[in-house]
Structures are given as C-alpha cells and as structure tokens.
C-alpha cells in the first residue's frame, strides 16, 4: 500500500509521530511518501518525496483541518482517500488522533473503514477578455475579499449567468457543504449536511439587512465580480490558505469539481455526533440545575 504523508511542522508531536510511522510502516506493508515541507523531520533516510508519479492508495494528514485541506489540494481531484489525524483542538474533518493512530493504521491496511464523498469546488479567474486561469480544487471555500485596509467593497453575484444582485460587504464566501461549518458559518451561513449537493453563497458582514445567505444547486455556476471603483486590492483566498489577486474586469467563477474528495471514516460516529462534540452544538450544560 502506497501512503502519502502530509503534516503540519508547527505541531511539536509531529517529529515523534513520523518516527513511529517510519517504524511501523514496513510491518504493515506500507510504502511511505512525504511532502517536501516535512522531509527533514523524518528519521534519515526518509521516505521519497510525494509527487504526481506516486500512485497513492491513501493519504495521511497529521495536524488539524487545515492540514487535511492542504492534503486535499495536493491530491487535486485524484480521489485518493484521506485519513485525517488530529493533533490540534477541533479537527472537525479528522477521524483519528495521536492516541488512536496505530488502530487507524491497522484499519486502513485491512480496509476496515468507510469513506465519505465530499463535494469539492473548481474555482477559476476569468478576465475581461474571457481568458480563464484555473485555480486549485478546494474542499472548503473560495472567498473574494478586500486586501489591505479593512473596508466594504461592492460585488456583483450571478448564478448560472443570472444576476442575483449587488452586494456591499466585506466579501463573499462560496462554500461547499464541508466549508459550511468553516468561514461561511462564522459569517452567518447555514450548516449544510455533507450529503446535500449544494453550494452556499454567504456575504461577509453585509452592509444591508436585505442580504441573506443563498443555497444553490451543486450544478450551478457561481460568479463573483468586483464592481468599479471597488476593484483595487481585491483578493481571492482558497480554503483560507492560498490566494491570488483580482485585476479590474476579473471575476471569480466557481463550479463543482469533477471528482469529490474522499474522507476516511472509522467507527460509528456520524456527522451530528461530530457537531455536538466538536462544535458544542446544542450544549446546554451551563443551564443545568445545580
């Protein structure tokens, strides 16, 4: 089994976990491949570098949700199952932690796991001449927002070429159901259960009470275009980790990605159980009678 490993070097436990992986992998019949940014943390000689030529059976991400999102972008639609191991606090998308790593690896090798197919987005930037540049596939969201000084901008949103309206806001979040529990939720958007085929459009701090989040079919094409003169220093962020600039006349176009992202799930815990546990959803313990 070929296993890619992506990790967040800011976690102090990472080096010891990599050493443990290097020790147990041969016994489990796993050939490891590492991303370059953590290559120096492995016991030497470390695994070969992860590249497009490596045909992976699974990817392990060691960190938090952000590390899992980066792993998904690294796969870029390959359809390889991702086993998220949480080293942080929330880890809403992950399914194991450092204490259950051996159990998770054993289940992985035996194929004793389920996968969740998560809708992903394929964003692109289209200029005023109709020329398009593709951006990496994202699992959470694509966000148009102002760079530099914090102030509202004016944006035009269209769905399948039909103009929704003009927004005066700090920005627009275009999110998947997976991303509905991230930035979109913080901006007042709804939680969308992962099995729902939909895209969420949420304004960030809209400057009017007449604007509410939209939920559109996953087959829809969502376009976000800055309106002059609010076209200076406009940025697009992808999964909150990487980004690009938008020039005058550019627009963000978001479509459903051709292939979903597959997340490994271990044990019986479902989406709503994770909501209660990770997000303290419906937690009324502070109201219990003493």
CATH value at residue 64: 3.40.50.10330
Same domain, yes or no, for 19 and 114? yes
Same domain, yes or no, for 210 and 271? no
Give the residue-averaged pLDDT of 45-62: 88
Please indicate whether residue 65 is annotated as part of the active site: yes
Of the chain, the percentage scoring pLDDT greater than 90 comes to: 77
pLDDT at 53 over 70: no
CA distance 109 to 190: 37
Q: Is residue 290 domain-resident? A: no
Longest Cα pair distance anywhere in the chain, in angstroms? 67
- At residue 164, the pLDDT reads 96
Of the chain, the percentage scoring pLDDT greater than 70 comes to: 98
Same domain, yes or no, for 168 and 217? yes
Same domain, yes or no, for 97 and 129? no
Active-site pick, 13, 51, 65, 250: 65
Same domain, yes or no, for 158 and 109? no
Same domain, yes or no, for 186 and 95? no
Between the CA atoms of 5, 84, 240 and 176, what dihedral angle is there, to the nearest 10 degrees?
130
Q: How many domains does the chain have?
A: 2
Dihedral sign for Cα 91, 94, 95, 100, please: negative
Same domain, yes or no, for 126 and 247? yes
- At residue 88, the pLDDT reads 81
- pTM, rounded to two decimals: 0.92
Same domain, yes or no, for 251 and 265? no
Residue 56 belongs to domain spanning: 2-118+260-285
Same domain, yes or no, for 197 and 114? no
Report pLDDT digits (tens) over 124-159. 999 998 899 999 999 999 999 988 777 789 999 999
């Amino acid at each position: 089994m070929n296993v890619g490993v992506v990790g967040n070097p800011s976690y102090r436990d990472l080096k010891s976990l990599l050493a443990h992986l290097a020790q147990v992998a041969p016994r489990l019949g796993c050939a490891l491949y590492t991303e370059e940014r953590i290559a120096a943390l492995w016991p030497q000689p470390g695994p070969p570098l992860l590249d497009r030529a490596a045909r992976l059976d699974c990817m392990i991400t060691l960190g938090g949700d952000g590390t899992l999102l980066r792993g998904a972008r690294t796969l870029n639609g390959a359809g390889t199952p991702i086993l998220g191991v949480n080293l942080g606090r929330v880890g809403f998308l992950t399914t194991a932690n450092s204490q259950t790593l051996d159990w998770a690896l054993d289940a992985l090798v035996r194929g004793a796991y389920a996968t969740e197919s998560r809708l992903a987005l394929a964003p692109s930037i289209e200029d005023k001449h109709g020329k398009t540049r593709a951006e990496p596939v994202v699992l959470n969201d694509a966000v148009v927002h102002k760079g530099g000084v914090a102030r509202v901008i004016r944006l035009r949103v269209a769905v399948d070429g039909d103009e929704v309206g003009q927004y005066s806001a700090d920005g627009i979040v275009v999110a998947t159901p997976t991303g509905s529990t991230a930035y979109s939720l913080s901006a007042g958007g709804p939680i969308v259960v992962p099995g729902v085929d939909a895209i969420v459009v949420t304004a960030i701090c809209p400057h009017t009470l007449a604007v509410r989040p939209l939920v559109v079919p996953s087959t829809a094409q969502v376009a976000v275009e800055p309106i002059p003169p609010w076209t200076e220093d406009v940025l697009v962020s992808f999964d909150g980790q990487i980004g690009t600039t938008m020039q005058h006349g550019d627009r963000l176009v978001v479509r459903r990605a051709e292939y979903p992202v597959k997340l490994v799930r271990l044990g019986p815990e479902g989406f709503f159980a994770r909501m209660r546990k990770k997000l303290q959803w419906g937690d009324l313990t502070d109201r219990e009678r003493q």
